[in-house]
Amino acid sequence: MSYLTNPLFGVFLSLAVFMIGQWLFKKSKGFFLFQPLFVSMVLGIVILVILGKTFGVDTAQVYTQAYKPGGDIIFWFLTPATIAFAVPLYKRNDVVKKNWGIILSSLIIGTVVSLFAITIVAKAFGLDKVGVASMLSQSATTAIALPLTTAIGGNASITAMACILNAVIIYALGKQLVKWFKLKDDPVGAGLGLGTAGHTIGSAFALEMGSAEGAMAAVAVVVIGLVDNMLIPVFAHVIGL
């Protein structure tokens, strides 16, 4: 396995599975389960599991030793990509300036309502206290969500999984969800919702819908993190976590 520990393996694997994903998505004429990101995630994990079986080591170990060095290089570029959302935001400054009241009030009220709804759903599915606590901060970006989860007694790796799946779900089901819930005719609401639920990927999706949606999603990514930071510790205290 030693020659797999070179970072180039992870870089190549990521590119290869994403290319396969794009090819499948195109071939299937856009079948939602063949979203490139979803395909590359499943395919990449399957390959790591197979490699683990072949070399007789734990999958987590294959991940850390063989994939992560290369994966981290690609992951690093998410930081400049995230701040790049200031560009579409600036280009639609008109929408931001006109709607800042709606933006702030709906993100705060929306978060409170969502927190109650998520708690009810999590309890209905039989998650324990740790599980519920790990579900609350998923609307924040990972770097805010993980310390928040730890602070209220959740499991940070479950929250990390939630943050990733949020983005994958929005990327894969975004079109259907926008249609089912009739979000198209309200760019402000659609953009804020997509940014809150799907983070940066949600913002990229919103940007494809329109420049106003994209700008609103970028605002949501920033503001929701700060709102969660302030509200979630209080909320966790109130529901007795």
Instruction: Write out the binding residues for other proteins, residues 132-151 only, by CB under 8 A.
Output: 135, 138-139, 141-144, 147, 151
Residue 204 lies near other proteins (rule: CB under 8 A): yes
Q: Please give the Cα distance from 144 to 175 (Å, whole number).
A: 27
Neighbours of 191 (CB within 10 A): 32
Residue 95 lies near other proteins (rule: CB under 8 A): no
Q: Cβ closer to other proteins: 164 or 239?
A: 164
- The answer to whether the Cα torsion of 65, 69, 74, 77 is positive or negative is positive
Work out how close the CB of 44 gets to other proteins at its nearest, in angstroms, rounded to a whole number. 4
Report DSSP letters for 110-149, one per residue: HHHHHHHHHHHHHHHTT--HHHHHHHHGGGS-HHHHHHHH
Paired tokens of 161? 């999984």
Instruction: Write out the binding residues for other proteins, residues 38-57 only, by CB under 8 A.
Output: 38, 40-41, 44-45, 48-49
Work out how close the CB of 240 gets to other proteins at its nearest, in angstroms, rounded to a whole number. 19
Work out how close the CB of 29 gets to other proteins at its nearest, in angstroms, rounded to a whole number. 18
Residue 227 lies near other proteins (rule: CB under 8 A): no
Residue 12 lies near other proteins (rule: CB under 8 A): no
Residue 231 lies near other proteins (rule: CB under 8 A): no
Report DSSP letters for 149-179, one per residue: HHHTT--HHHHHHHHHHHHHHHHHHHHHHHH
Residue 59 lies near other proteins (rule: CB under 8 A): yes
- From candidates 33, 226, 234, 238, binder to other proteins by CB under 8 A: 226
- Cα atoms found within 13 Å of the Cα of residue 102, Cβ hemisphere only: 14
- From candidates 152, 218, 232, 236, binder to other proteins by CB under 8 A: 218
